[in-house]
Amino acid sequence: MANPLFKALGGNGFSQMLNQFNQFRQTFQGDPKQTVMQMVNNGQISQNQLNQLQQAAAEFQKMMK
């Protein structure tokens, strides 16, 4: 069974995703945790979506090791 993150990226979108993330990181200002909590509090994302993103991030970290 394929890794769900890999599948979500279309199998070969890792390089593109990394480039987009680096662009985002260079332009982002503020506290990331505070920004995410504000998004949850004002309904832009649900707690369930946040949980799913955190799980995907954990999988991504495992792949990077």
pLDDT more than 90, % of the chain: 34
- Reported as a single tens digit per residue, the pLDDT across 28-53 is 889 988 999 999 999 999 999 999 98
Give the integer Cα–Cα distance in Å for 12 and 33: 29
Domain ranges for the chain, please list them.
Answer: 37-65
pLDDT of residue 38: 93
Q: Is residue 1 predicted with pLDDT exceeding 50?
A: no
Q: What mean pLDDT value characterizes the chain?
A: 82
Q: 45, 39 in Cβ contact below 8 A?
A: yes
pLDDT of residue 37: 92
